[in-house]
Structure formats: structure tokens, C-alpha cells
Amino acid sequence: MLTYRNLEALRDRYPTSDERDYLTNYSESMGRRVIAHEEMQKIRGDVIDDMMTTMKRLYPNIPRYHVTGFEKGYRDNMLLLEYMIKSMLLDDVGLYDEHVLTWVRTLFKSFNFTPKFLRDNFTVMRDCVRKRSTPRTYELMAPLLTHTIEYLSDIPEPVRPEV
């Protein structure tokens, strides 16, 4: 799929009218996305703080299975949110998938996280973004947050859940 980051398809041909429309739209929406990017950078620490507070309440047993689980959770959630913010700025969900989402799912599976735990975690993240951000920023972030919920919770149930 053509994105401004990945223009490889245009190396040996001119853009089609659909591709020109996509690129024009990318240009026209950049101002809005820069504002949303700035807002998300300001609130992302608070968003992760909020979500970790909720997750500690919902899953108090995590430290029994993963000694530094919440500390690592803070770091991993921050990384994922950072990539979502970048992907939103560049209007490029592929960036997020390629750079982080694919390998993170493998990592989470290896921790014996359940699909429900991951769905809860990222649903809480989405709720926290919605509470902290303006509606216009949330509108731009929501597709990535929803994509994350669906993608990361799409794992088999572990034989021995550790959540």
C-alpha cells in the first residue's frame, strides 16, 4: 500500500489518480496531525500512568508471575503508544505494524499473557487516551488504538496463563 513513507511503487511509474488523491489528502491533513502529535506528546506520560493504575487494579497478580511486570509494562506501553503517535503523524499504520506490533505480539505470547489480558490492557489505553485528549486528536488516534486491541489480542489461549 502506498504511503508517503513507502513510495516504492512509484519508482518506475507515475502515480495513479487514486494515489494522487491519497498524497493530496496526506498533505492537506498534515496540519491537523501535527497538532494532534504535539498534544499526544504532552499527554502520553499521563495516559500511561492512568492506564497502569487501572491495570494494577484489574490484574493485581501480575507481579507473582512477572516480578518487574508493571515496570516493563510501563516501558512497553510507552513504546507502543509512541509508535502509534508516529504512525498517526505519518498516516501510516504499516510503520507501526512493521516496526513494533508484529514482534511485540510474539513477545507477549511468550509471557503467557491471555487474549483477554491484552484486550483489557489496550482497551484501557484507548479509554485513557479518550479521556485525556481532545476529540479531534482522539479521532486520529482511535483507529490505531483499535487496531492494536484487535491485533494483539488475536493470540491463542496459553496453556498456563500468567496474568
Partner 1 sequence: MKTWLQELVQVSNGRPFTQEEIMRISTAADTLPDRLAAVRKMEDCQKWLIRQLSEHISPRAMEWGLPKDPFSNDFVNLLSAVSHALIADDLELVSTTVVKPCVQLAQALDLPESEFGTLFEVAWNTLSQRCDPSSIALLKDYFRRAIDELKPNEWSQPNRATPNETRNFNLLEV
Q: How far is the CB of 114 from partner 1 (least distance, A)?
A: 27
Q: Are 154 and 112 in contact (CB under 8 A)?
A: no
Task: Out of 52, 62, 84, 85, name the contact with partner 1 by CB under 8 A.
Answer: 85
Contact flag: residue 31 with partner 1 (CB under 8 A): yes
Q: Looking at the chain, list the stretches that DSSP marks H as alpha helix, in order from N- to C-terminal side.
A: 17-58, 62-65, 69-89, 93-96, 102-110, 115-132, 135-152
Q: How far apart are CA 87 and CA 85, in angstroms?
A: 5
Contact flag: residue 10 with partner 1 (CB under 8 A): yes
C-alpha cell at 24: 493530496
Q: What binding mask, one character per residue, do residues 100-119 give for partner 1 by CB under 8 A, x or -?
A: --------------------
Question: Contact residues for partner 1 (CB under 8 A)?
Answer: 4-7, 10-15, 20, 23-24, 26-27, 30-31, 34, 37, 41, 79, 82, 85-86, 89-90, 95, 99
